[in-house]
Amino acid sequence: MDAGHELSLSSKSQPITTQLTQMLSQGKGLSWLRPRSSRGWLAYGSIFYIILAVMTGILSGLGVFTFGYAEGASYLSNNPQSCTNCHVMQPYYDSWQNSSHSHVAVCNDCHLSHHPIGKWVTKADNGFFHSLAFTFENYHEPIQIKGRNREVTQNACLYCHEETVHQMISINQGNDMLHCINCHSDVGHALNLPRTTVHPLEPRRP
């Protein structure tokens, strides 16, 4: 017999407040808040895990689709053509092919750190911000190198040519020193770039 029946069958001589007080003290008045059995809680838990599994599946599916559509696997390789997955990079790929370094160095040789960990940190950093900028078309045109990436290219030059230029390198860190591309701006990209009068390795202006 539930709380409603107990109230209706109780003696009319007892005030209704007295009946409610007795029922609450016995826990009967709150029985509707409690599941009839432990299966009730299990049902709520099952719904939560079902929703979690569905959301995880959706997000995973979108991630796999985006990675495949953007040819993400190609960026793990050393193939310069992977850069042209973004059409805005085609002129710079073409200018590299016409440069003096095209037969000795690929994109990763100059634009990534030669440190085994730094290489992947730089790749992840550039990959995220480049895809963000290209997707929302929020980038300077012609594209210009950022300060931290300019240091990467400078260190790449020194990595290959240190024996030649070691006497020109400042002993004290932080001293002013010309970057290699100040004099050799066309070794990585030939200067006859279409649609631009600014070399891509010129520092970005604010």
What would the pLDDT profile of 43-98 be if each residue is shown by its tens digit? Answer: 666 788 888 888 999 999 888 887 777 777 777 888 888 888 888 888 899 999 99
For residue 184, which amino acid is it? H
Kindly tell me if the per-residue pLDDT of 115 is higher than 60.
yes
Q: Is the pLDDT of residue 202 over 60?
A: no
> What is the reported pLDDT for 205?
45
Q: Is residue 86 helix, strand or coil? A: coil
pLDDT at 9 over 50: no
Task: Kindly report the pTM of this predicted structure.
Answer: 0.59
According to the model, what pLDDT value does residue 34 have?
53
Q: How far apart are CA 97 and CA 103, in angstroms?
A: 8
- The CA distance from 73 to 75, in Å, is 5
- Is residue 78 within 8 Å of residue 108, measured between CB atoms? yes
Please tell me the predicted confidence (pLDDT) of residue 85. 84
Q: Which residue has the tokens 């260190």?
A: 155
